[in-house]
Amino acid sequence: MEKINGRLLSWASILEDTTREQAERTAAMPFIHPHLALMPDAHLGMGATVGSVIPTDGAIIPAAVGVDIGCGMIAVRTQFTAEDVAGRDLAVLHGQISRSIPLSAGGRNQKIRASAEPRIAELRELPGASQADAAVAHWPQQLGSLGSGNHFIELSLDEEDRVWLFLHSGSRGVGNKLAQKHIRIAQEQCRRRHIQLPDRDLAYLVEGEPEFDAYIEALRWAQRFAYLNREEMMDRCVDQLGRFSGTEVERAETVNCHHNYTERERHFGREVWLSRKGAISAREGEPGLIPGSMGTASYVVVGKGNVPSLMSSPHGAGRNFSRSAARKRFTRTDLDARMTGIAWGHSDAFLDEHPDAYKPIDQVMADAADLVEVRHTLRQIVNVKGD
C-alpha cells in the first residue's frame, strides 16, 4: 500500500499519472472522510477513478457511483466436473445461452418469462419504481439481459476441475438513464450554488435535500434491479447447462455481489456513504468475485477486512488501453490465438476486450494480497459476450 497523501491511499502497483491525478482531485473534495482508497485495478473513469472506494460525509457524487448502478457479478458452482463436459461441443452451449439471454446494448426480452415475473413484481413495489418507469418504460423487458462491453457469461473450471457458471452485468439501460438524470441534477445544483469543481463530474448532492433523497431512492432501486437481473440470467444459464448436459444442475455454492454501488457504512468511527466504483466489499470472511479479462483467470475470494482499504478489494483487471486504442493496437489473429480452447463469439467486435487491453490480472491479485484471500481460481472454457 502507498500513502499518496493524507487523503489518498493506493494499492495499485500499476498506476498511470493521469489516473493518480484524477484520484487526487476526488480525494480533495471537502466531504471525503477519512480518505479515498485506490484499488489495484484503478484506471481513468468519468469524474472519479474506476477502482476507487469513496467515503463521503453529508454528500454523494452520483458520477462516483457510475452510470451502471449496481453492476457486479454472480457465480454458481455446480456438481459437474471437467469430465462431464469433456468431448462435448461447447459451441452448442454457447449458442444455447446466447439465444436464451438477450445480448448487446439495447437488448431486451420479447416477452417476460415466468421466472422474471416475481422479480419484476418486487421491483414494481419498491420506492423508485416511478422514477424507473419515467426513465425507461420497458425496463421489465430488460430484466434478464446482459448488455455489452466487458459484461460476459462464462462456463469455467476451478483448480479441482469443478464446473462454474460466472456472469457480469448490471442495471442495464434503466440504471444508466437514472444515473445520467441525477448526475445532471447534481451538476445543476453545483452551478446554482456557484460551486467551483475541479471536474464537472464531481458534482454532488447534499444530504437532507430532496434531490439527495430522490437519488438514493433511484440508486437503491437500480441496485436491486441489477442484483435480480443477474439472478434471472443465472437461472437461464443453469437451465441451459442442464439441457446441454441432460442432468439437472445442482447449485453447490453461489456468490452475487455489486461493484458499482453506494451503501451506508461505518468506517473510522463515523457513518458515511461509501461508494465503491469498480470495487467490491471485502469484510472479513465475506465472499466476493474478481473476474479477469477474456482468456484469463477469474477468482472467487473471501475478504480479509483490511481497515485502511475501507474493507474493499478490486473488481477485476482494470483497463490498460481505451477501447479505441485497443481496436487499433490488437489484431483478430492474436485474439483468436489467445482464445484457443474457449468457445466464444469469434467476432472483430471483441477486439476492444482483448486480454492485453487490461492490466495483468496476476499483478492485480498480487497487489490485493492484503485485501482478499483466493479461494478458487477459474479458467474459462465458454465465453459469451454482447457486441
In tens digits, the chain (387 residues) has pLDDT values of 999 999 999 999 999 999 999 999 999 999 999 999 999 999 999 889 999 999 999 999 999 999 999 999 999 999 999 999 998 999 999 999 999 999 987 888 999 999 999 999 999 999 999 999 999 999 999 999 999 888 999 999 999 999 999 999 999 999 999 999 999 999 999 999 999 999 999 999 999 999 999 999 999 999 999 999 999 999 999 999 999 999 999 999 999 999 999 999 999 999 999 999 999 999 999 999 999 988 899 999 999 999 999 999 999 998 888 889 999 999 999 899 989 999 998 888 888 899 888 999 999 999 999 999 999 999 999 999 988
Does the annotation flag 168 for ligand binding? yes
> Which residue is catalytic, options 315, 346, 354, 376?
315
Written as one letter, the residue type at 218 is A
Residue 46 DSSP label: S
Residue 352 DSSP label: G
| Residue 346 appears among annotated catalytic residues | no
pLDDT (0 to 100) of residue 282: 98
**Neighbouring C-beta atoms of residue 322, cutoff 10 Å:** 14
pLDDT (0 to 100) of residue 106: 82
Does the annotation flag 292 for ligand binding? yes
CATH number at residue 238: 3.90.1860.10
Does the annotation flag 293 for ligand binding? yes
Does the annotation flag 303 for ligand binding? no
Does the annotation flag 5 for ligand binding? no
pLDDT (0 to 100) of residue 53: 98
How far does CA 180 lie from the centroid of its chain?
17
pLDDT (0 to 100) of residue 193: 95
pLDDT (0 to 100) of residue 238: 98
Does the annotation flag 291 for ligand binding? yes
Q: Measuring CA to CA, which residue among 355, 229, 374, 225 is closest to residue 289?
A: 374
CA 161 vs CA 63, 80, 180, 189, 382: distances in Å: 40, 9, 43, 54, 14
Does the annotation flag 386 for ligand binding? no
Domain count, the chain: 1
Instruction: Work out whether strand 36-43 and strand 8-10 pair parallel, antiparallel, or are unpaired.
Output: parallel
Does the annotation flag 316 for ligand binding? yes
Q: What is the DSSP string of 308-321?
A: TTTSEEE-S--BSS
- Enter the C-alpha cell of residue 48: 472519479
Residue numbers of the domain that contains 249: 2-384
Is-contact 147 213, C-beta < 8 A?
no
pLDDT (0 to 100) of residue 150: 87
- Enter the C-alpha cell of residue 187: 451538476
Q: Measuring CA to CA, which residue among 342, 353, 346 is closest to residue 380?
A: 342
Tell me: the pLDDT tens digits for 127-178? 999 999 999 999 999 999 999 888 999 999 999 999 999 999 999 999 999 9
Does the annotation flag 328 for ligand binding? no
Does the annotation flag 68 for ligand binding? yes
Helix axes 172-192, 210-245, angle to 10 degrees: 160
- Enter the C-alpha cell of residue 17: 499519472
Identify the helix (H) or strand (E) that includes residue 337. Answer: helix 332-338
Does the annotation flag 259 for ligand binding? yes
